[in-house]
Structure 1
């Protein structure tokens, strides 16, 4: 007898949630369909009612990962009309990623390249997201520079790509780093960014207060050599 639609949807979601955590911890090659089935409480054969194969399941999990970044980081930032506020929202969203139970075990496995499996569908999802995220960051940097709020030398496109790389580097150790440490790292990055690039006074201090960065050490008094 076929499952009711609601039950099929629930089972499919349970399978994807289980696979999402496993792929995030161990990467594509480190996860078997049997392990997913056992974790989800279904038979291995039942997996194929919901996903065509392992690569199809992996692509679905990659879409979920991308959706998490879009929801937590970029959608909240896009709602801010002011470019500087959008940058603050990006950092705040990056902090709040750690509060999502889906990433409690980490997501570093999604950056591990399979030895030989064809996961082009998942890689296309990831590449499309990174291109869109880079374009969004580039646009806000250009807008902030045009408003004379930030001083950024060189290409905003290159800066945006570097920002994405730093963002990924912060996210990769999440499974091994506690939430307070994760928030502190993001806050320090935000304060450092505004210290280096803000033309508007007080933005670095605001980042320290609002995001919880430790206070900057006072400058050492210079010796009187007279």
Structure 2
């Protein structure tokens, strides 16, 4: 096969990922074949293997794209905010917005769940890194809130941070096809319960 120019190669690779991403997200690794991706992308299997050495490498690239979506929708908006209470409120509102995003509605289970397969070390490590990064960040938000007197809770913040990830994942997997008004009500209720659980202290001037 003749070597592609840089721009053409990058565009082809991007096209393959954009074709495979919703398929893996909907059906997981085992539910999608290279043949199906080849047909839908209108590329030969040889072209696919030119860019990705195997199906697992392509799935891994799609998993990285999924991580990017989570960061963009939930975690990046939290970064510049000084108030820990506001940061956690953004976590819940970001999760709510994800539930209204058609891409997330159709492309989440296959990345959150293993879908009946044993992940290789590289994918397992990357998955665990996603969880760990998120939990550590949320843990730091909780601890900061406690130090400045905004939150009052006992014990280490990490288990509470882990529960936030469970809430997000559970909501996306279980509520992604619910009507918008139900999503709105449920996310508000979850934020209300969680904020009371961490002892959010209401202040006239938000910190």
Aligning the two structures, in what range does the TM-score lie when normalised by the shorter sequence?
0.7 to 0.9
Deviation at 1:136, TM superposition (A): 0.7
CA contact (8 A) 1:21 1:106 kept: yes
Q: Distance in 2 between matches of 1:58 and 1:67?
A: 14
Divergent runs of 4+, >4 A: 114-118
Q: Mean alpha-carbon deviation: is it higher for 66-75 or for 90-99? A: 90-99
Closer/same/farther in 2, CA of residues 51 and 183 from structure 1, 3 Å limit: farther
Deviation at 1:5, TM superposition (A): 2.4
Deviation at 1:51, TM superposition (A): 0.7
Equivalent pairs, count? 203
TM-score (norm 1): 0.80
Deviation at 1:98, TM superposition (A): 3.4
Deviation at 1:6, TM superposition (A): 2.1
Q: Distance in 2 between matches of 1:141 and 1:73?
A: 16
Closer/same/farther in 2, CA of residues 180 and 9 from structure 1, 3 Å limit: farther
Q: CA RMSD in A?
A: 2.3
Q: 1:52-201 counterparts in 2 under 5 A? A: 52-113=53-114, 115=116, 118-173=119-174, 175-201=176-202
TM-score (norm 2): 0.87
Deviation at 1:11, TM superposition (A): 1.7
CA contact (8 A) 1:98 1:174 kept: yes
Per-residue CA deviation, residues 181-203 of structure 1 (Å, 9 max, x unaligned), is 43443222112212333442379
Say which one has the larger Rg.
Answer: 1
Deviation at 1:59, TM superposition (A): 0.8
Q: Of the two structures, which has the highest relative contact order with CA contacts closer than 8 Å and spacing of 6 or more?
A: 2
Which residue of structure 1 aligns with residue 26 of structure 2? 25
Consecutive unaligned residues of structure 1, counting only runs of 5 or more, are: 204-226
Q: Distance in 2 between matches of 1:33 and 1:179?
A: 35
